[in-house]
Structure 1
Amino acid sequence: MKKGDKTREHIIMKSAELFNQQGFAGSSLNDIIAATGIQKGGIYRHFHNKDEIALEAYNYAASIVGNRLSEAIGNEESATGRLLAFFRVYEDVVNNPPFIGGCPLQNTAVESDDTHPTLRHRAQQGLFVTLDMIKAIIEDGIKNGEFKTDLDVDALATFAFSLLEGGIMLSKLEGSNRHMHMNIASLSSYLRQCCFRRVK
């Protein structure tokens, strides 16, 4: 990798960590300079403005979380295990999140809802991709006989994702993983009682 590419990657990585902890609006150019150790001129050699950095930073943070999710899902054989893998990645969200600062999608969605349409659109894309992943797992569970055939795929995907994001938010706010643990138990119980036709 060329030196310029390494510098650009370093700016993106450090800015992603900064934005995911302090928010886009709460992070100034001086904060980026402090986090990266690169002066203003060096940063603007690679990016036109803070908005461009923010978009690249979100993509980077989302890719880190996505890789962790893919790895966790790949270790599970059952559809149930793959659904719960989303939660296992955030099981210790208070002390050891997959990306520093918590869920990039949630943080970006909350901050950019009314203030930054481009970032909001990027978070929306992340939402759709994640929901599609969850739906595909549920549909696979129906096909292999693990889940009931009359299961509402869209409703269960929304329910599961809402439990995940709600657990992340409550656990981070309280400083305790108990909300995430309760939501894992709740979803596990729901799947056992309402969705299973048979367990493989």
Structure 2
Amino acid sequence: MTKADKTKQFIIEKTAPVFNRKGYAGTSISDLTDVTGLTKGSIYGNFESKDDVALAAFDYNFSRVTQLVGDKVERYQHSVDKLKAYVAVYAALPADPVLQYGCPVLNTAVEADDTHPALKEKARKAINGWKRALVTLVKEGQERKEIKKSADAAAFALSFIALIEGGVMLWKLTGNEEALAAALKTAKRLIKDLEK
């Protein structure tokens, strides 16, 4: 890794939590210089614009979430246990350094909906990827006879994502962890309904 690559990675790692907490519009170049200790010129010497930093920060935040979930899911063999691992990750969200400011996909999707097409596209792809992963897990569970054959994998995946992201949104909006816990409790019931 070259010195320029290291500097770029440093900027991404330092600014990613700021973008996740404050959003694209709420994050100023001063925020970026404050958190990195670099000058505006140093940041723009490595990125063409704040947009480029934000897009790289989203990728970094999303990869951290993906790794967190993947590490937890891979511990299990049974499809139902793998689905429960998703719930466990989000149940620990308020205390987790990666997710303490909320889910970066949700944060980005809400903010970028009508204002930042490139960030919106990244959030859309992330949700579609999550849906595909859940559908695959359910279908594998059906093949292994761990999950009811009658289960609608796509409907489950969309409902599951909506519950988790909705719970995260309510927690972040109200500051009440019970809202997240209630949504996750319902997500667990959806999983239970899949079991044979």
Q: How does 1:1-16 map to 2 (within 5 A)?
A: 1-16=1-16
Aligned match of 2:165: 165
Aligned match of 1:71: 71
Aligned match of 2:195: 196
Give CA deviations for 1:126-146 in whole Å, capped at 9, x if unaligned: 011111111111111111111
Which one-letter code corresponds to 1:67 in the other structure?
Q
Which one-letter code corresponds to 1:22 in the other structure?
K
TM-score, structure 1 as length reference:
0.92
Change (3 A) 1:133 1:172: same
Superposition deviation, residue 80 in structure 1 = 1.4
Whole-Å separation in 1 of the counterparts to 2:140 and 2:97: 28
Superposition deviation, residue 150 in structure 1 = 1.6
Aligned match of 1:59: 59
Whole-Å separation in 1 of the counterparts to 2:94 and 2:125: 26
Structure 1 runs of 4+ with >4 Å offset: none
Give CA deviations for 1:36-94 in whole Å, capped at 9, x if unaligned: 11001111111110111111110000001110010010012221111121121121322
Matching of residue 26 in structure 1 with residue 26 in structure 2: yes
Aligned match of 2:94: 94
Whole-Å separation in 1 of the counterparts to 2:12 and 2:39: 14
Supply the RMSD in Å over aligned alpha carbons. 1.4
Whole-Å separation in 2 of the counterparts to 1:117 and 1:70: 28
TM-score, structure 2 as length reference:
0.94
Structure 2 counterpart SS, 1:24? helix
Superposition deviation, residue 97 in structure 1 = 5.2
Whole-Å separation in 2 of the counterparts to 1:74 and 1:166: 25
Matching of residue 44 in structure 1 with residue 44 in structure 2: yes
Q: How does 1:119-158 map to 2 (within 5 A)?
A: 119-158=119-158
Q: Higher helix share goes to which structure?
A: 2
- Gaps of at least 5 residues in structure 2 are none
Aligned residues: 196
Structure 2 counterpart SS, 1:48? coil
Superposition deviation, residue 156 in structure 1 = 0.5
Superposition deviation, residue 187 in structure 1 = 2.5
Percent identity for Structure 1 against Structure 2: 34
- Gaps of at least 5 residues in structure 1 are none
